C-alpha cells in the first residue's frame, strides 16, 4: 500500500514558539492532503484540506492564522502551529489521497507545548 | 454535513470469536465507506473499504457489509486474534467530493486470551 510519512514523530516546544510538521507521500502523488487532530481516546477531527498549489480549506472553528498549511508539491504538505500554547498539545495526523478514493494516513506527530 | 455514529465504543471478545462493529451515516449522498485500525500512538491504517455499488466485501478474516437503504454499514472480524486488539474507526464520504472523511468515534476492540 501507499506510504505517508510525517516528521517529526514527536516534538516538545515552549509556549509562544512555532512548530512545523511535514507530511510526505513517499510513493505516490497526492492531489489532496488532509490534516487531522486527535485528542486522547477520541476520534479524528478534520482540521483542513489542501490541494497542491492552492490555499487550504479550513473546517469551521479552525483558525487559519494559527494553523498554517502549505501544500507546496504533490508529495509534501506542511502544518505550522504558530505561537503554540499548551491547549495546542495534541496528536496531529496527516493523510494523502491520489486520484482515487483511498486515503492513506501518516504515523502522526505528537506535539507537547510546555 | 455528514454525521457518522459508531457502536459499541468498547467491545471485548474471546480470542477466536467474532467481533462486529456497526456504523450509521446521515448523508444519503455518501458512497464510500472505509474502515481504519489504529494502534496506540500510531496513525490509522486502512483495513477494508466498500463503495455503495456493492453490499458486501470480504478480505480473509475481515468483511464489511453495507445497507444503503438503512444507511448503515458493519465491520465483521472472524477468528479474532490478540493482534486484532486496537481502536477501529468507520468513516464515510461522498465519492468525487473534495471533502475529507467523516469518522465515527471509534471502537476499542479488546481480544481476551
Backbone angles phi, psi at B45, to 5 degrees: -115, 130
The answer to whether residue A100 scores a pLDDT higher than 90 is no
Dist CA B55 CA A53 (whole Å): 38
CA distance A15 to chain B (A): 23
The sheet carrying A19-25 orders its strands as A4-7, A19-25, A76-81, A67-73
User: Cβ separation of B46 and A108 shorter than 8 Å?
Assistant: no
Q: Which residues of B touch A44 (CB under 8 A)?
A: 44, 89, 101, 103
Chain A residues 43-82 within an 8 A CB cutoff of chain B:
43-44, 46, 49, 51, 57
- Nearest alpha-carbon partner for B30 in B2, B69, B65: B2
- What is the maximal distance between C-alpha atoms in chain B? 43
Q: How confident is the model at residue A111 (pLDDT cuts 50, 70, 90)?
A: very high
pLDDT for residue A85 is more than 70: yes
* pLDDT tens digits in sequence order for chain B, 113 residues long: 788 999 999 999 999 999 999 999 999 889 899 999 999 999 999 999 998 888 999 999 999 999 999 999 999 999 999 999 999 999 998 765 567 788 999 999 999 99
Alpha carbon distance A110, A93 (integer Å): 9
Question: Worst-scoring range by mean pLDDT, A76-85, A94-103, B17-26, B32-41?
Answer: A94-103
pLDDT at B98: 62
Residues of A in contact with B46 (CB under 8 A): 1, 102-105
Q: State the Cα angle at A25 between A24 and A30, rounded to 5°.
A: 115
pLDDT for B95 equals 60
Residue B38 near residue B86, CB atoms below 8 Å:
yes
**B8 prior amide bond cis, ω within 30:** yes
DSSP structure string for A91-106? EEEEEEE-SSS-EEE-
* Residues A108, A6: Cα–Cα separation, whole Å: 6
CB contact under 8 A, A105 and B45: yes
Calpha distance B10→B4 (Å, rounded): 17
Amino acid at each position: 500500500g501507499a506510504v505517508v510519512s510525517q516528521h517529526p514523530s514527536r516534538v516538545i516546544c515552549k509556549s509562544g514558539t512555532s512548530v512545523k510538521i511535514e507530511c510526505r507521500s513517499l510513493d505516490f502523488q497526492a492531489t489532496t492532503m488532509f490534516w487531522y487532530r486527535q485528542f486522547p481516546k477520541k476520534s479524528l477531527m478534520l482540521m483542513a484540506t489542501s490541494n497542491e498549489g492552492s490555499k487550504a480549506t479550513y473546517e469551521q472553528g479552525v483558525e487559519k492564522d494559527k494553523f498554517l498549511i502549505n501544500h507546496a508539491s504533490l508529495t509534501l504538505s506542511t502544518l505550522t502551529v504558530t505561537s503554540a500554547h499548551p491547549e495546542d498539545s495534541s496528536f496531529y495526523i496527516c493523510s494523502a489521497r491520489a486520484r482515487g478514493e483511498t486515503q492513506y494516513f501518516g504515523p502522526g506527530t505528537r506535539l507537547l507545548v510546555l | 454535513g455528514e454525521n457518522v455514529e459508531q457502536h459499541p465504543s468498547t467491545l471485548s471478545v474471546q480470542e477466536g470469536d467474532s467481533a462486529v462493529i456497526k456504523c450509521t451515516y446521515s448523508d444519503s449522498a455518501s458512497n464510500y465507506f472505509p474502515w481504519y485500525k489504529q494502534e496506540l500512538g500510531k496513525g490509522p491504517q486502512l483495513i477494508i473499504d466498500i463503495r455503495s455499488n456493492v453490499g458486501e466485501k470480504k478480505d480473509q478474516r475481515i468483511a464489511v457489509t453495507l445497507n444503503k437503504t438503512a444507511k448503515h454499514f458493519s465491520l465483521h472480524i472472524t477468528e479474532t486474534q490478540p493482534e486484532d486488539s486496537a481502536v477501529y474507526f468507520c468513516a464515510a464520504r461522498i465519492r468525487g467530493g473534495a471533502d475529507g472523511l467523516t469518522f465515527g468515534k471509534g471502537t476499542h476492540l479488546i481480544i481476551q486470551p
